[in-house]
Structure 1
Amino acid sequence: MTRERLAWLLGALGLLLGAWWLSLNTEWVEVQRPRAAQGEARDNPVYAFEQLLRRLGMQVERHEALKNLPPAQARLVLMSSDWQLMPERSAQLQQWVLQGGHLVLAPSSEWDNSALADWVPVELLDVKPSKRSRHEKKFAEASASVQRPRRELSSNPPLWGSTESVASCDAPPDQYNLRPRRNQAPAWTLARKSVVHALRVPLGRGSVTALNSGTNLFHNEPALRCDNPLLLAAALQAEAGATAWIYLHEKRQALLPWLWQSGWIAILMGLLALAAALWRAAVRFGPLMAAAPRLRRSISEQVHGLGAYLHKEGREALLAAQQRALLEAAQRSLPGFARLSHAERAAALAAATGLAALELSTALSTRFCTRAQLPSLLLLLETARRRLAHRTSDERHPT
């Protein structure tokens, strides 16, 4: 025997010993584990209850709005208090029951604190504190045990002719009791001692069945435990060919999509009007109208400009500018003025403006002056210039 074969033999022997040890120290048993709901059962909390009624030959519909009521002789299970959103719905349900409908009231519909309490022939009463404490104690003991809480409920009359009692599971402590109103005879009761858990009272051609049980009795898991299927079938008066409506909650379309589908034209026009208003009130890149041309300078601008000029050039420059302005105006208005001598120019200006020729000659020939002499010289030269300009304007536009 080679070393390699010896190693394989020892390995196989070790595996056999390990398997033998596991077989002696372990135990293999089958454990059933609930599988998570899938498909419709995952999203529908009363899926099992619906399938139970369909197995009994009933036609089941689940509604999320009560725009219309079920047909006559149908069963309506109210499992939510959202039906109170419409104030007139209580009167509609009353008329439907009087005409032959069968109404089933679950605790979650809160019918005892709504408008239904005004005409439903069933009263919901509190259990006495002493009795309630005993029931709560027993319920707590049962909850602490391994077995689920069970309650034996007696049926009067018996269910389907022979079943006189049913075992209800997962029921809360007895906090309320059901009883018919005065002058009302119950058609069916399901009670435990003095506490009534289900009560049916005729009303018109129909009936009202009220349940005093947990709010989740119709849900998937509780609906199939113990004798809960028998209890639910009896509450709905299940029979082949009957119709059952289950009202879970009020579900309507969201406000914004509904507004768009119902009035998209009005919304669109409103948005366009809002956009136009915002555009009209918005800040523009330029002024609303072009600025009017400024034909004359303001006095302040003239004063500031004159001061700046004097500060920079001096009195002599201002005097020379004024003399030059007068000579340019004279050349435009007096023919041959440029060829005249100084004395002839003074005489021509005096004849055209009505000013003294000697003063005009002195003002035109002066090159230097004092601060006191400057205003009078400027005034004389500017007066002569303006009179020449006025004379030229009159010649162009004769009256």
Structure 2
Amino acid sequence: MLRRSLPWLLLLAVLLGAGALLVRYTRWEEKRVPLPPQGEAETDRHYQLRHWLAKQGVTLQTPSELGTLPPVTDTLVLTSPLWDVRQSREQDLKRWVEAGGHLVLFPNTDEAMLKLNPLGIEETSEWQLQREQRKAEAKARAAASGHAAPPEKSDEDEDDEDDEEDTAPATPASGPALPRVPPPPKCDWTAKDAGAQPFFAELPIYQLCRSPSTVFKSRDLPAWGVRDELGWRALRLPLGRGELTLSAWYPNLDNPDLMKHDHAPLLAAMLKLRPGRQVWLMGSASLPTLPSWLWQQAAPVLLLALAALVLSLWRALPRFGPLRRPPPDRRRSLAEQVRGSASFLLQHRAEALHTAQCRALAEAARKLAPSASASSALPDPVTLALATGLSASALGKAIAPAQRNTRRLAQDLMLLETARRQLISLAAKGHTAPAPLQDSPQKASP
């Protein structure tokens, strides 16, 4: 009994030990997994922004095409670089802002839409300002120590050093190299409200994630703005009766992280939200497809090209035969056959047809006179004339090799063919020649 239960006891002990190890060296943690959007949130990419603005008493409009500008009491936000204002809309936008509208531009559209120099605004990059600060600090340290300042490095050399620092692989002290994982975004960038009229008096400093790479410089104090130690990151300037807001910090308007930290208050300050107003968001310009655009711009050219294509395809298609019923096959007459063959061979090789006709006449002569020589020589024209009743002189001219035109060759071939058929007819009837067909010294033309 004990021997039978021993294997089961060992198995139970192994399972208990494995369970104890699993409980000791593992732990259970709860992790919230966001559910995928459903219903209206699945079809509307600005669902969260729309509901957040609705709580502030503001209506969001997202037109696909901005044919007419919104009322001057509303706010227009341009985030799409595809909307063309350089050629035909720049002056309309400027007049709309001067009439009292509020225009908000982000870094992917401000350079292509408005000329900022007339407004007293200069745009520079963060890395360039940091480089200038490093150079100034190096000169100050060199001046304080009394040594000569180190030679200034070119922009290319500094870019190469920055690239080497970024791409240098991390070599651990021991163990295999692990794949580099990008660090999560740090929400440690702070910017303060330093404008003439702060939007939130109780929130002078904004806690944000990742600083933008663009810095603005303004010769005038903006009505509202956000800046850090490098300069202005967002500012609002009056333009006529309206206002223009430029922001280097670009919020992802369809990202759930928009409601985290101080992103939402900063967005409210940039849009200058007021209950009862509307915000027009031009986020994605709908452009026509290439076929429709070509049809709108060059319809006649497309029609001509299509007609040429159809004609070329029609000419290249294989033909399956005539539409009419072909005439019945009938045997051609001797004259038609001789004229057609002579006309063809006269252009290509008339001597071949004449030689073949003479050989056929020699074979017919041998059938009528079996005692004659089996050579390929032709009989005498006089003897052929006696046997066939044709003219001896005409037969001599037809047999003799000479340069002939189409008409003469056709007549000679008809005469030789007539003589050949008469000889064959006499041989078939069993007749004998009136005179022996002797070989003539005149040979067939080669």
Give the TM-score normalised by structure 1: 0.61
The answer as to whether partners of 2:59 and 2:278 remain within 8 angstroms in 1 is yes
The answer as to whether partners of 1:58 and 1:241 remain within 8 angstroms in 2 is yes
Shift of 1:104: 0.6
Instruction: Label 1:179 to 1:266 Cα distance change in 2 as closer, same or farther (>3 A).
Output: closer
Q: Which runs of 5+ in 1 are unaligned?
A: 1-14, 329-363, 376-399
Q: CA separation in 1, counterparts of 2:53 and 2:384?
A: 116
SS in 2 for 1:166: strand
Which residue does 2:211 correspond to in 1? 171
Instruction: Label 1:70 to 1:43 Cα distance change in 2 as closer, same or farther (>3 A).
Output: same
Shift of 1:249: 3.0
Which residue does 1:249 correspond to in 2? 284
Q: CA separation in 2, counterparts of 1:277 and 1:64?
A: 41
Higher share of residues assigned strand = 1
Q: CA separation in 1, counterparts of 2:278 and 2:25?
A: 59
Which residue does 2:358 correspond to in 1? 307
Which residue does 1:371 correspond to in 2? 440
Q: CA separation in 2, counterparts of 1:147 and 1:123?
A: 28
The answer as to whether partners of 2:387 and 2:434 remain within 8 angstroms in 1 is no
Which residue does 1:94 correspond to in 2? 94
Q: CA separation in 2, counterparts of 1:23 and 1:231?
A: 48
Between 190-199 and 299-308, the greater mean CA deviation after superposition = 299-308
Higher share of residues assigned helix = 1
Which residue does 1:348 correspond to in 2? none
1:176-232 C-alpha deviation (Å, 9 max, x unpaired): 23425xxx552112222462222100111211001122x444341342221110100
1:254-286 C-alpha deviation (Å, 9 max, x unpaired): 122555699989867864554235435767678
The answer as to whether partners of 2:85 and 2:113 remain within 8 angstroms in 1 is no
SS in 2 for 1:315: coil
Q: How does 1:161-240 map to 2 (within 5 A)?
A: 161-172=201-212, 175-180=214-219, 184-193=220-229, 195-213=231-249, 215-240=250-275
Which residue does 1:352 correspond to in 2? none
Q: CA separation in 2, counterparts of 1:271 and 1:104?
A: 46
The answer as to whether partners of 1:65 and 1:250 remain within 8 angstroms in 2 is yes
The answer as to whether partners of 2:86 and 2:113 remain within 8 angstroms in 1 is no
Which residue does 1:393 correspond to in 2? none
C-alpha root-mean-square deviation of aligned residues, in Å? Answer: 5.1
The one-letter code sitting in structure 1 at the alignment partner of 2:274 is E
The answer as to whether partners of 1:112 and 1:123 remain within 8 angstroms in 2 is no
SS in 1 for 2:90: helix
The answer as to whether partners of 2:215 and 2:230 remain within 8 angstroms in 1 is no
User: Over alpha carbons, which structure has the higher Rg?
Assistant: 1
The answer as to whether partners of 2:212 and 2:233 remain within 8 angstroms in 1 is no
The answer as to whether partners of 1:178 and 1:195 remain within 8 angstroms in 2 is yes
SS in 1 for 2:187: coil
The answer as to whether partners of 2:193 and 2:224 remain within 8 angstroms in 1 is no
Shift of 1:30: 3.9
1:24-78 C-alpha deviation (Å, 9 max, x unpaired): 9876654334445556656766543333222212121223433332222221112
The answer as to whether partners of 1:191 and 1:197 remain within 8 angstroms in 2 is yes
SS in 1 for 2:198: strand
Give the TM-score normalised by structure 2: 0.55
Q: CA separation in 1, counterparts of 2:318 and 2:32?
A: 75
Q: Which runs of 5+ in 2 are unaligned?
A: 1-14, 137-161, 167-181, 328-335, 366-376, 392-432
1:79-114 C-alpha deviation (Å, 9 max, x unpaired): 1322247622222211221122211111122x2355
Which residue does 1:386 correspond to in 2? none
Among candidates 312, 326, 339, match of residue 389 of structure 2: 326
The one-letter code sitting in structure 1 at the alignment partner of 2:60 is V
The one-letter code sitting in structure 2 at the alignment partner of 1:122 is I
The one-letter code sitting in structure 2 at the alignment partner of 1:112 is E
Q: CA separation in 2, counterparts of 1:92 and 1:237?
A: 22
Which residue does 1:148 correspond to in 2? 187
